[in-house]
């Protein structure tokens, strides 16, 4: 197990396109389309797990650490729902973009140019997000280990990533990058995709117990993402710290 979870090549990929984060028709267009289902999934599960009465600020009082926060596409909507959000990212340019966008959004979010192993904070969090990040790190077991140390007992960790299947190679790489050009070529490395059962073993070693797993699929006719029983390409998980 290495001490460093940062993959410099992956960080450089995102440094090069960091200015595109908030352009809904730019390099991160697929993530903008993906964002509504991510927000809904996280919000609904937090409300259920923490027995919250739904209102216009249902996440008020919930502390969230968004690891690999990028330009803040997920951090901002969750803060808008009332959560106390801290975002960290190994790409300094991503953090610069996230901080710059805060000036126009009037939200109170703390952003740090850090990886989990180099980050320190005065308290632990109710919720940790590892969304579309584990497939970009150097050492997944170490990354989960370092992430879990910031989670309170009985806290919840959400992990969304790509399954390592033939279908994911065809659709997520050949289809999305080479044919549809949804993503820049080279965005993903199939060898870094992780099967759900492998992820679960890693998480179990860090006292994280799988509570829910769902597939996520794109409907080209409706032009939107939705939850699915098909976990062969994208999937999202909820773990609870025991």
Across the chain, mean pLDDT equals 94
Structure tokens at 53: 């009465």
Quote the pLDDT of residue 75. 98
Instruction: For 161-174, give one letter per residue: b (16+ CB within 10 A) or e.
Output: bbbbbeebbebbbe
Query: Whole domain around residue 94: which residue ranges?
Result: 8-160+194-241
Q: Who wins on pLDDT, 77 or 179?
A: 77
Q: Give a yes or no: residue 103 inside a domain.
A: yes
Written as one string, the DSSP assignment of 44-70 is HHHHHHTTPPPSSSTTTT-EEEEET-T
In Å, how far are 78, 130, 149 from 108, measured between CA atoms? 11, 21, 24
How many C-alpha atoms does 199 have within 13 Å on its Cβ side?
A: 25
Quote the pLDDT of residue 1. 44
Mean pLDDT of 95-101: 98
pLDDT of 167 over the 60 cut: yes
Quote the pLDDT of residue 3. 66
| Contact between residue 215 and residue 234 where contact means Cβ atoms under 8 Å apart | yes
Quote the pLDDT of residue 183. 77
Q: Give a yes or no: residue 175 inside a domain.
A: no
Per DSSP, the three-state class of 217 is: strand
Q: Give a yes or no: residue 199 inside a domain.
A: yes
pLDDT of 169 over the 80 cut: yes
Q: Give a yes or no: residue 174 inside a domain.
A: no
Quote the pLDDT of residue 225. 92
Q: Give a yes or no: residue 34 inside a domain.
A: yes
Burial class (CB in 10 A: 0-12, 13-18, 19+), 82: middle
Q: Who wins on pLDDT, 173 or 157?
A: 157
Give me the number of domains the chain comprises.
1
Q: Give a yes or no: residue 16 inside a domain.
A: yes
pLDDT of 110 over the 50 cut: yes
Q: Give a yes or no: residue 187 inside a domain.
A: no
Q: Give a yes or no: residue 68 inside a domain.
A: yes
Look at residues 140, 149, 7 and name the one whose alpha carbon lies nearest to residue 65. Answer: 149
pLDDT of 217 over the 50 cut: yes
Q: What is the CATH classification number for the domain harbouring 142?
A: 3.40.50.150
pLDDT of 123 over the 80 cut: yes
In Å, how far are 35, 73, 90, 121, 196 from 103, measured between CA atoms? 21, 14, 21, 23, 38
Give residue-wise pLDDT tens across range 11-39.
999 999 999 999 999 989 889 999 999 99
| Contact between residue 162 and residue 168 where contact means Cβ atoms under 8 Å apart | yes
* Helices vs strands, H then E, count in the chain: 7, 8
pLDDT of 193 over the 60 cut: yes
Quote the pLDDT of residue 149. 98
């Amino acid at each position: 197990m290495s001490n460093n979870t940062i993959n410099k090549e992956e960080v450089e990929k995102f440094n090069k396109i960091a200015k595109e984060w908030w352009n809904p028709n730019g390099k991160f267009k697929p993530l903008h389309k993906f964002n509504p289902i991510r927000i809904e999934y996280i919000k609904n599960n937090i409300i259920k797990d923490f027995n919250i009465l739904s209102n216009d600020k249902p996440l008020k009082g919930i502390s969230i650490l968004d690891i690999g926060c990028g330009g803040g596409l997920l951090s901002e909507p969750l803060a808008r729902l009332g959560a106390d959000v801290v975002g960290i990212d190994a790409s300094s340019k991503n953090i610069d973009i996230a901080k710059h966008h805060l000036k126009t959004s009037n939200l109170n979010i703390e952003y740090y140019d850090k990886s989990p192993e180099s980050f320190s904070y005065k308290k632990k969090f109710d919720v940790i997000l590892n969304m579309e990040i584990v497939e970009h790190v150097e050492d997944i077991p170490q990354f989960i280990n370092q992430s879990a140390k910031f989670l309170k007992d009985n806290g919840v960790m959400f992990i969304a990533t790509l399954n390592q299947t033939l279908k994911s190679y065809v659709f997520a790489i050949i289809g999305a990058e080479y044919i549809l050009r949804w993503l820049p070529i080279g965005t993903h490395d199939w060898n870094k995709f992780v099967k759900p059962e492998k992820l679960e073993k890693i998480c179990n070693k860090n006292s994280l117990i799988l509570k829910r797993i769902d597939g996520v699929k794109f409907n080209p006719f409706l032009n939107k993402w939705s939850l699915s029983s098909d976990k062969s390409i994208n999937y999202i998980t909820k773990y609870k710290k025991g």
